[in-house]
Amino acid sequence: MNNPKSIPPLTHLAIIMDGNGRWAKKRGLPRYEGHREGTKVAKKIVEECRKLNIKYLTLYTFSKENWKRPKEEVNFLFKLLVDFLNREYKSLVEQSIKLNILGDYTKLPFSARKAIEFTLKKTKDCNKMVLNLALNYSGRDEIIFAIKKILKQGIDPESLDEESFKDFLYTRGQPDPDLIIRTSGEIRLSNYLLYQSAYSELYFTPVLWPDFTEQDLHKALDDFAKRQRRFGGI
């Protein structure tokens, strides 16, 4: 693994954690075992990003489309979320990692909402890293939600520009992702950070999320370091 000091400046990393179900299927296991293993990987990657001084990390945890999955699987995903937050909030505080939620978490089960609210309160003063969990999230829905807020506040449309519009998104006050990683070999964004990803670098790996290691993270960051970001210029 590379020395963390060799990693290029990267302020905001976003990850689409894909492939839990396929990982389990390949091993003849129920899908929930893939999700369980994926949670363990998420913990490792959060800790590695903190060591690398990455200021913002966004994990695509549960999309609005995921409600279409079997009820038993959805319930298990939220149980994993509750267990993760109840178990790890002390570690987040110790590492000074602030939890932030992208999406409408008020629609989640009661136990999940309470665990989220508890962790939000416990980590509110942490300032070394922000961990965004995209929960009940949809990129298109986020844009519509922002427009509704603008209309309700009676803001003059002529006063809006790309930067001021960002103030109405879930990521208000945060920089756009420098890099978006998607695991499992799928090559699409799947309704993820659609406004924020306009100039993000994209990295796709065939590695299934439960197999994703700190070394795989460094490989993606090394690839990012070789790219030239022009933002539409020359």
Catalytic residue IDs: 18, 66
∠ CA 206-30-84 to the nearest 5 degrees? Answer: 80
Q: Quote the tokens at residue 172.
A: 């208000």
The full 3-state SS of 115-155, as one line of letters, equals HHHHHHHHHCCCCCEEEEEEEEECHHHHHHHHHHHHHHCCC
Contact 132, 98 (CB under 8 A): no
Q: In whole angstroms, give the CA distance from residue 94 to residue 61.
A: 23
Q: Quote the tokens at residue 155.
A: 């803001």
Q: Which of 140, 166, 132 is nearest to 60 (CA)?
A: 132
User: Residue 14 belongs to what H/E stretch?
Assistant: strand 12-16
Could you give the 3-state DSSP secondary structure of residue 200?
A: coil
